[in-house]
Amino acid sequence: MTTGSKIHKIGIIMNGVTGRMGTNQHLMRSIIPIIKQGGVKVAEDETILPDPILVGRNPDKLKPLTQQSGVDKWTTDLEEALSDPHNQVYFDAQVTNLRAASVRRAILAGKHIYSEKPTAATVDEAYALYQEAREAGLKNGVVQDKLFLPGFLKLRGLLDAGFLGDVLAIRGEFGYWVFEGDRGESQRPSWNYRKEDGGGIILDMFPHWSYLLESLFGRIEAVSCLGTTHIHQRWDEQNQPYHCTADDAAYATFQLESGIIAHFNSSWATRVRRDDLLSIQVDGTEGSAVVGLRECFTQSYQETPRPVWNPDIDSPIDFREGWVRVPGEVDYENAFKAQWELFLRHVVKDEPYGMDLLAGARGVQLAEKGLESWRQGSWVSVPVLPT
Based on the fold, state whether residues 236 and 89 are members of the same structural domain. Answer: no
Work out the pLDDT band at 5, boundaries 50, 70, 90.
Answer: confident
Q: Can you say whether the dihedral through the CA atoms of 33, 35, 38, 41 is positive or negative?
A: positive
Residues 247 and 372 in one domain: yes
Confidence grade of residue 144 (pLDDT, cut at 50, 70, 90) = very high
User: Are 296 and 372 part of one and the same domain?
Assistant: yes
Residues 66-100: tens digit of each pLDDT: 999 999 999 999 999 999 999 999 999 999 999 99
pLDDT at residue 334 is higher than 80: yes
Task: Assign 181 to helix, strand or coil.
Answer: coil
**Statement to judge: residues 178 and 199 lie in one domain:** yes
* Helix boundaries (H) for the chain: 20-21, 32-36, 59-69, 78-83, 96-108, 123-135, 150-161, 201-216, 335-349, 357-376
Percent of the chain scoring above 90 in pLDDT = 96
H or E segment at 162? none
Quick one: 15 and 81 in the same domain?
A: yes
Q: Which residue from 302, 291, 300, 292 is spatially nearest to 323, judged by alpha carbons?
A: 300
Interatomic CA distance for residues 113 and 143, integer angstroms: 11
Longest dimension (CA), the chain: 77
Distance CA 382, CA 372 (A): 11
Mean pLDDT of the chain: 96
For range 1-20, the mean pLDDT: 87
Whether the pLDDT of residue 285 is over 80: the answer is yes
pLDDT tens string 236-263: 999 999 999 999 999 999 999 999 999 9
One domain, residues 214 and 276 = yes
Residue 1 forms part of a structural domain: no
d(CA 209, CA 215): 10
Count structural domains, the chain: 2
Please report which confidence band the pLDDT of residue 2 belongs to, taking 50, 70 and 90 as the band edges. Answer: low
- Is residue 295 domain-resident? yes
Instruction: Assess if residue 21 is contained within a domain.
Output: yes
Pair 79, 107 in one domain: yes
- Residue 284 sits in a domain whose CATH number is 3.30.360.10
| Length reported for the chain | 387
Could you tell me if 117 and 208 lie in one domain? no
Sheet holding 380-381, edge to edge: 324-325, 296-300, 287-291, 278-284, 167-175, 261-267, 249-256, 220-228, 380-381
Q: Collapsing DSSP states into helix, strand and coil, what is residue 252? A: strand
Judge whether 228 lies within some domain: yes
Domain assignment present for residue 386? The answer is no
DSSP string computed for 184-230: S--SS-GGGG-GGGT--HHHHHHHHHHHHHHHHT--EEEEEEEEE-S
pLDDT of residue 4: 65
Q: Is there a contact between 210 and 264 (Cβ–Cβ < 8 Å)? A: no
- Residues 39 and 34: their CA atoms lie apart, in Å, by 5
User: Please, what's the b/e burial string for 64-81 (b: 16 or more CB within 10 A of its CB; e: otherwise)?
Assistant: ebeeebebebbbeebeeb
Q: Which domain holds residue 131?
A: 6-145+335-354
Asked if residue 63 has pLDDT above 70, the reply is yes
Q: Is 230 found in the same domain as 113?
A: no
Residue 171, domain member (yes or no): yes
24: CATH: 3.40.50.720
In a domain, 387, yes or no: no
Determine the pLDDT at residue 104. 98
Q: Provide mean pLDDT across the span 302-325.
A: 93
pTM: 0.95
Quick check: 1 pLDDT over 90? no
Backbone phi and psi for residue 249, each to the nearest 5 degrees, phi listed first: -155, 150
Q: Does residue 356 register a pLDDT over 60?
A: yes
Distance CA 234, CA 357 (A): 33
Q: Say whether both 159 and 82 belong to one domain.
A: no
Q: Is residue 114 within 8 Å of 293, Cβ to Cβ?
A: no
**Do residues 157 and 272 share a domain?**
yes
Question: In this structure, is residue 359 part of a structural domain?
Answer: no
pLDDT single digits (tens) 160-190: 999 999 999 999 999 999 999 999 899 999 9
For 42, counting Cβ atoms within 10 Å of its Cβ (0-12 exposed, 13-18 middle, 19+ buried), the class is middle
